[in-house]
């Protein structure tokens, strides 16, 4: 087993309890210090005393280092496991800028603004991460007006619900004669319960993933833009036999759907 263990954003003490447990059990530990900076001053006081610092002399090191290592491991018959931690991908939210969220529609409120953001990204060939709505400790209008502290059961939007709303928006776009940013054949990624033991990842077309059971909450959706060949290889790990059939090559290393 090859473990990829996130060390977090600070010094080595930012490793998770789970990650440290696995480090202590491993027969060999390598410290990857190319894609980030590990801040430390006293190695004896942190996990570095377990580590052998090495550089990947036989690996093409670039921004997709970890995907490359995953694919190499699987090609060699070695299974892998990811232990997540904080990274710049989530901590960057401290600046206050927002991501795309897909909200629950109601009978009287059916916004399409999230589609506009997806369209802008697709027009530029960029992927879009969509966080799906949650409704926790919400009151009905009736209870709210009567001042009763009675709350509705929690609801968590599923990938299928988000996809259904997107497909309805696409139909509205067709009816208005507008150019579509995506179709039911656009390659997407559905993610659920992203943590080490129980996470679920599926890739495929938007239509295909509508009927895919991702399991319990929380769900997220990624709508693909232009895909590099290495990204396609990674998505194949999470797709069915027909899941990526709509991809088309635009040049030697770029795929679109």
C-alpha distances in Å from residue 43, one per residue of 12, 13, 39, 53, 125: 9, 10, 10, 12, 43
Preceding omega of 218 cis (within 30 degrees of 0)? yes
Q: Is 215 left (phi over 0), alpha (psi -120 to 50) or beta?
A: left
- On whether 88 is known to bind a ligand per the annotation, the reply is yes
Question: Is 219 annotated among the ligand-binding residues?
Answer: yes
- Surface-to-core class of residue 252, CB atoms within 10 Å of its CB (0-12 exposed, 13-18 middle, 19+ buried): exposed
Question: Annotated binding residue at 226?
Answer: no
DSSP 230: H
Q: Is 87 annotated as a binding residue?
A: yes
Neighbouring CB atoms inside 10 A of 26's CB total 14
Rg of the chain on CA atoms, in Å: 21
Alpha-carbon span 170 to 167, nearest angstrom: 5
Q: What is the spatial distance between Cα 24 and Cα 26, in angstroms, rounded to a whole number?
A: 6
List residues bridging with 192 in a β-sheet: 200, 219
- Is 15 flagged in the annotation as binding? no
Going by the annotation, the residues of the binding site are 9, 87-88, 132, 219
Binding-site residue positions for S-adenosyl-L-methionine: 9, 87-88, 132, 219
């Amino acid at each position: 087993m090859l473990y990829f263990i996130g060390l977090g954003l600070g010094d080595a003490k930012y490793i998770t309890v789970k990650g440290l447990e696995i480090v202590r059990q491993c027969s060999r530990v390598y410290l990857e210090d190319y894609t980030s900076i590990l801040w430390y001053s006293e190695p004896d006081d942190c996990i570095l005393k377990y580590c052998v610092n090495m550089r990947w002399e036989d690996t093409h090191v670039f921004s997709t280092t970890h995907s490359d290592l995953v694919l190499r491991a699987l090609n060699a018959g070695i299974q892998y496991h990811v232990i997540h931690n904080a990274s710049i991908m989530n901590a960057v939210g401290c600046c206050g800028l927002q991501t795309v969220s897909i909200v629950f529609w109601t009978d009287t409120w059916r916004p399409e603004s999230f589609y506009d953001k997806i369209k802008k990204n697709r027009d530029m060939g960029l992927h879009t991460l969509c966080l799906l709505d949650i409704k926790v400790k919400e009151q009905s209008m009736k209870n709210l007006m009567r001042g009763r502290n009675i709350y509705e059961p929690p609801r968590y939007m599923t990938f299928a619900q988000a996809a259904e709303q997107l497909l309805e928006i696409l139909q509205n776009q067709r009816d208005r004669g507008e150019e579509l940013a995506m179709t039911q054949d656009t390659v997407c990624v559905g993610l659920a319960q992203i943590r080490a033991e129980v996470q679920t990842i599926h890739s495929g077309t938007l239509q295909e993933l509508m009927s895919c059971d991702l399991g319990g909450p929380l769900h997220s959706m990624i709508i693909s833009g232009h895909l590099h060949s290495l990204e396609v290889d990674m998505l194949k790990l999470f797709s069915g036999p027909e899941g990526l059939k709509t991809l088309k090559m635009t040049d030697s290393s770029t795929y679109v759907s």
